[in-house]
């Protein structure tokens, strides 16, 4: 396969960026998208060019570091797939492919395709913890949790924190990420003591970071590689309303 990559190049957040085109030849259909970027960077380096900066780590669809918008879609055209698990057989020979970073005011560009997603970490720091002592594994297993609640918590915990939901949302909201993290802890008995406080604190941090509000468009769940359902946001809204009610003493 031979393709043309139109890639966003930007030295740092204080400089304007632009799309630059690169021809990449002799691509195997079984190569991942990140391997194609590796191939391009090898060629750029050998010819004295500046390699394209992009995020990656596990390359197994686990960590969520491979944050790319490909032809306008976060993580590319395949559902429930991270960029590192996206293979070139899903593209056509001779195709022109646009590659951009996550677009959000809360995710400033560091360089090229790399953005600063530490805002998500600060949301977790604001309330994503429990104070209940769980002891060792045997002690935790002694706490009876209904299967429905355990399944719900597990589904929420599947969120890998990649930020695709933010990149896809027209409002730049991180509500799906926020809903998953709040639902994860709020579904379990150990997470109940701080449940209301957690929701309010994490939403406050979410807004302070510059993320937009949720209008239930659903683009977030459509691109989520972990398949986090939209009703996680409903759980978020429920816990926030509960927190406001308890805070006001009504």
Strand-pairing partners, residue 171, are none
Do residues 169 and 217 touch, judged by C-beta distance below 8 A? yes
Tens digit of pLDDT for each residue in 204-249?
999 999 999 999 999 999 999 999 999 999 999 999 999 999 888 7
- The percent of residues above 70 in pLDDT, for the chain, comes to 99
Pick from 113, 111, 31: which is nearest to 70 by CA? 113
- Parallel/antiparallel/unpaired status of strands 96-100 and 3-9: parallel
Tens digit of pLDDT for each residue in 55-74?
999 999 999 999 999 999 99
Helix, strand, or coil (residue 16): coil
Do residues 40 and 97 touch, judged by C-beta distance below 8 A? no
Domains of the chain, each with CATH number or no CATH: 1-109 (3.10.20.30), 117-246 (1.10.1060.10)
Tens digit of pLDDT for each residue in 101-121?
999 999 999 999 999 999 999
Alpha-carbon distance of 165 to 179, in angstroms, equals: 11
Alpha-carbon distance of 52 to 11, in angstroms, equals: 10
Count of CA atoms in the C-beta half-sphere (13 A) of 68: 30
Global pTM?
0.93
Helix, strand, or coil (residue 58): coil
pLDDT surpassing 80 at residue 139: no
* Residue 15 neighbours by CB under 8 Å, 6+ apart: none
- Parallel/antiparallel/unpaired status of strands 114-115 and 73-74: unpaired
* Residue 41 neighbours by CB under 8 Å, 6+ apart: 51, 52
DSSP class of residue 91 equals S
Do residues 187 and 156 touch, judged by C-beta distance below 8 A? yes
């Amino acid at each position: 396969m031979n393709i043309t990559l139109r890639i966003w190049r930007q030295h740092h957040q204080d400089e304007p960026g632009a799309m630059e085109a690169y021809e990449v030849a002799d691509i195997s259909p079984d190569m991942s998208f990140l391997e194609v970027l590796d191939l391009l960077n090898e060629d750029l380096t050998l010819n004295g060019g500046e390699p394209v900066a992009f995020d990656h780590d596990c390359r197994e669809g686990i960590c969520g570091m491979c944050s790319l918008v490909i032809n306008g879609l976060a993580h590319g055209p395949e559902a429930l797939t991270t960029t590192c698990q996206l293979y070139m057989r899903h593209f056509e020979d001779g195709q022109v492919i646009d590659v951009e970073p996550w677009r959000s005011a809360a995710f400033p560009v560091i360089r090229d395709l790399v953005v600063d997603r530490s805002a998500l970490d600060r949301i977790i720091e604001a309330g994503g913890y429990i104070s209940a002592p769980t002891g060792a594994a045997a002690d935790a297993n002694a706490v009876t949790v209904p299967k429905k609640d355990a399944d719900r918590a597990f589904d929420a915990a599947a969120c890998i924190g990649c930020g695709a939901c933010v990149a896809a949302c027209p409002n730049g909201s991180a509500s799906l990420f926020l809903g998953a993290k709040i639902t994860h802890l709020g579904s379990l008995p150990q997470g109940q003591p701080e449940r209301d406080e957690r929701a309010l604190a994490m939403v406050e941090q979410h807004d302070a970071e510059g993320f937009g509000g949720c209008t239930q468009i659903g683009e977030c769940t459509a691109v989520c590689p972990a398949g986090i359902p939209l009703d996680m946001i409903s759980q978020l809204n429920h816990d926030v309303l509960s927190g406001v009610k308890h805070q006001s003493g009504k």
